[in-house]
Amino acid sequence: MSGLALAQSGHLYQKLQVIETLLEASSVGQPAAGLATTWSQSPDGLRWQFDLRPGARFHDGSRVRAADAVAALQAATQAPGALSQAPVAGLRVLASADGRESLEILLHRPHATLPSLLAHFSTAVLAPGSWAPDGRTLVRILGSGPYRITRLEAPQRLEVAWFDGEGGPAPQIRRAGYLAVGRAETRALMAASGQADLVFALDPASLAKWRRTVSPARLASVTVPRVMALKLNAGAPVLSDARVRQALSLAIDREGIASAILRDPGLAATQLLPPTVPDWHDPSLPPLTFDLERAAGLLRAAGWRRSADGRHWRDVTGQPVTLTLRTFPDRPELPIVATALQEQWRQLGLPVRVSIGNSGDIPLGHRDGSLQIGLMARNYASTPDLTASLWQDFRPGGHDWGAMGWQSPPVWDALAALNSGAGLDRAAALRRQVVQGLQRDLPVIPVAWYRQHVAVSRRVQRPVLDPLERSYRLSALRWTDGDGAFASRGKDHT
């Protein structure tokens, strides 16, 4: 939570159910009703109509109007808004004989991932009262979700309370508090001491200790479409040959990293996305493996030669090869994995300098061209349909957290065709084409998949975690009295 704006903290407002988007997403990424309860598209795919939920109200009590949604979507068509990826030709309010609020999105060409983009937090609809009189400065967050903000102290604390503006049954969780805690050890201590009811992002070391001790909390886990990966500057001469990138991949002992650092050998990445994302996981692909001998052979095939002492490599121009890897400590495992990679590549004969900075260094290095290798954790479910995220990362020109200097017209064409819409059989073939191209060329090198681990206090029933990490699902949580029975008390939830 780095500021008030949706671009900075919208993901948190969405997780706490403060804001709403026109559409939501099911656990498998399919479009679901949000502020819009019904929607349809024209036969040519160029016009989409959305009908808003009758009686929807903002947290200041004002009615949600189609004009408010149009204003929100108009803002989201500008970068970094998600709708900047869509070929939007126009937005307009539709007249309705029955008084229902409806709007229409007009497109220059069909765009199949539009429903997914409309579930992104940057498209959330806010009340006009959220803005200063100039209409440009955001001064408060007045959403339409089941919880309203009662206290906001960026960057650490946010408190919400149930909003009963539309009537209906109240959830068991009437109030909740969110606290951002940077140190993984502190989060684990809060869970163990019962200071919080839900604690997210437990690190591997804390998990290992957790499993060896008796704790007042339980553990809930779900595999998520988040990948620890190496972003490579394929435009740099030293990394432009796919055989060099393949050699770097072959020199990575993923099972060792997953077992020793992540404490979960099942998280060793054999391709970009895990089997829990079946549309984008191809079980027939040869898996990414560890083989130093093959790695050295690929470097020789790329024209590299051993130095006179036989310990290091010279590239095709005869220059000694030294690489720099950038990463950041926002996720505590990243610097540790970076050190492991440094040692594993040293065994191949490649000296690597590890630079630990902040998360903004990788996008900055992409933009100014200075990045060689970046170790990152990339969430591919920022939009429910992963097509949109993959297009953003691997389109021509690449992306801050995606490809850099990489050229692959077949992958670009396949992603563009998926964006435009394709039948089920053709879409499956196009996805395979993308997955195979990424596995072959390795513009990013997958290292490990992620499992979200959450400590759950015994005051609440074990939650069903969101595999897309879009929501904490506060409104669905239930209190327990210790015997599994529901409690009707209006407790706070932290």
Tokens 């030709």 sit on residue: 89
CA proximity to 204, closest of 150, 258, 255: 258
- 242 and 185: one domain? no
Q: How far apart are CA 434 and CA 323, in angstroms?
A: 28
- 386 and 423: one domain? yes
- Between these two residues, 55 and 203, which has the higher pLDDT value? 55
CA proximity to 107, closest of 45, 63, 199: 45
Q: What is the pLDDT of residue 486?
A: 33
Q: How far apart are CA 237 and CA 262, in angstroms?
A: 33
Q: What is the pLDDT of residues 233-254, one digit of tens each?
A: 999 999 999 999 999 999 999 9
Tokens 């949600």 sit on residue: 64
Using 50, 70 and 90 to split pLDDT, how confident is the model at 483? very low
Q: What is the pLDDT of residues 32-51, one digit of tens each?
A: 999 999 999 999 999 999 99
- 302 and 334: one domain? yes
From residue 35, alpha-carbon distances to 28, 39, 130, 280 in Å are: 19, 11, 18, 29
Beta strands in 204-308 (DSSP E): 217-232, 305-306
User: For a pLDDT cut of 70, what percent of the chain falls above it?
Assistant: 97
Tokens 């095709």 sit on residue: 316
Q: Which residues constitute the domain of residue 53?
A: 19-130
Q: How does DSSP assign 294-350, residue by residue?
A: HHHHHHHHTT-EE-TTSSSEE-TTSPBP-EEEEE-SSSTHHHHHHHHHHHHHHHHT-
Q: What is the largest CA-CA distance in the chain?
A: 83
Alpha helix positions (H), 374-478: 386-394, 409-420, 424-441
- 300 and 371: one domain? yes
Residue 136 placed within a domain: no
- 286 and 367: one domain? yes
- 93 and 54: one domain? yes
Residue 141 placed within a domain: no
Task: Give the pair of three-digit tokens for residue 429.
Answer: 């073939």
Nearest-Å Rg of the Cα atoms of the chain is: 24
**DSSP conformational letter for 65:** -
Cβ(108)–Cβ(89) under 8 Å?
Answer: yes
| CATH code, domain carrying 121 | 3.90.76.10
Using 50, 70 and 90 to split pLDDT, how confident is the model at 415? very high
